[in-house]
Structure 1
Amino acid sequence: MCGRRRTQLSIMEEALIPDRSYDMEQIHSDVSKHLGRMWFPDMMPTWEALRFQQ
Structure 2
Amino acid sequence: MAGADEVLLGVLAVGRTRAEGSFRGPAAPAPAVACFDHGGPLGTGAAAVLRAAAG
Give the TM-score normalised by the residue count of structure 1.
0.29
Q: Which has the higher helix share?
A: 1
Bigger-Rg structure (1/2): 1
Give the TM-score normalised by the residue count of structure 2.
0.29
Q: Which has the higher strand share?
A: 2
